[in-house]
Amino acid sequence: MSSDLFKTMFQTTVMQSMASYPSASSTTSPAPSQVFGAVLQQALMQGLDLADGSSLKDSLADTDITSALPTKPGADLLQPVSTSAKTDFDDIITRAAEKYNVPKKLIQAVIRQESNFNPNVRSHAGAAGLMQLMPATARGLGVSNVYDPEQNVFGGTKYLRQMLDQFQGNLKLALAAYNAGPGNVKKYGGIPPFKETQNYVRKITANYYA
């Protein structure tokens, strides 16, 4: 058998097998694909050589199987993936973004990094809530309950706005200040040489610009 003939038989069988999907297969007799599959498996195990001197495995490697697969009418092969992070706190984040003129996606990226959208988390240092506000920072922002999602997000977004304003809209410096404090950013004239802060800035900016 020639390799071209074998490829044609293989593609035709795949098309016949897939054409009936997703209808139930018959239980009374094997489908053509089952018979062909059994023959194919045996041939591969025996290392069958084709008449033109090529091996069966090499022949199949050159066969474009995907070209034989049917698609449903109007169906996309690749479904678009939404970049919008819809969460239980979406309305709160949207309102905070509008009030403080901070991109919604940036707030989401900060929350994902800080708490992974867990409003009850508390760090070993005492930072709490969705945007991990420290007690003193929370008080200064007028947040009385750091575990209240709305208070926390509005307070954290307000603080992020302050950092953006303080560092002339420089996103990386603002994020570094959010994490390590504005004093450290000024002290080192940029992102502080703290591994935690550097990773923090890198991860959030990568998420934000994704």
pLDDT tens-digit map of 92-113: 999 999 999 999 999 999 999 9
Contacts with 209 (C-beta within 8 Å, 6 or more apart), sequence order: none
With pLDDT > 90 as the criterion, what percentage of the chain qualifies? 58
Greatest CA separation found in the chain?
Answer: 83
User: What is the C-alpha to C-alpha distance for residues 204 and 105, in angstroms, rounded to an integer?
Assistant: 10
The neighbouring-strand residues paired with 55 are: 49
Catalytic option among 98, 114, 150, 196: 114
Token pair listed for 87: 């969460």
Across the chain, mean pLDDT equals 76
User: What is the C-alpha to C-alpha distance for residues 196 and 208, in angstroms, rounded to an integer?
Assistant: 18
Over residues 125-131, the mean pLDDT reads 97
Model confidence band, residue 88 (pLDDT cutoffs 50, 70, 90): confident
Comparing 12-16, 116-120, 181-185, 205-209, the range with the smallest average pLDDT is: 12-16
With pLDDT > 70 as the criterion, what percentage of the chain qualifies? 59
In order of 58, 78, 129, 179, 200, the CA distances from 197 in angstroms are 52, 37, 19, 6, 5
**In the prediction, which pLDDT does 133 show?**
98
pLDDT tens-digit map of 40-64: 555 444 554 444 454 444 444 444 4
The neighbouring-strand residues paired with 185 are: none
Over residues 25-54, the mean pLDDT reads 48
Residue 137: CA atoms inside 13 Å, Cβ hemisphere, count?
Answer: 28
Contacts with 52 (C-beta within 8 Å, 6 or more apart), sequence order: 2, 3
**In the prediction, which pLDDT does 52 show?**
47
Long-range contacts of 70-73, Cβ-Cβ distance < 8 Å, separation of 24 or more: 70/15, 70/18, 70/19
Amino acid at 152: N
pTM: 0.60
User: What is the C-alpha to C-alpha distance for residues 40 and 18, in angstroms, rounded to an integer?
Assistant: 17
pLDDT tens-digit map of 194-205: 999 999 999 999
More confident residue, 65 or 98: 98
pLDDT tens-digit map of 140-168: 999 999 999 999 999 999 999 999 999 99
Q: Does residue 196 carry a catalytic annotation? A: no
Over residues 78-97, the mean pLDDT reads 69
Q: Is-contact 13 6, C-beta < 8 A?
A: no
For residue 120, pLDDT over 60 is answered with: yes
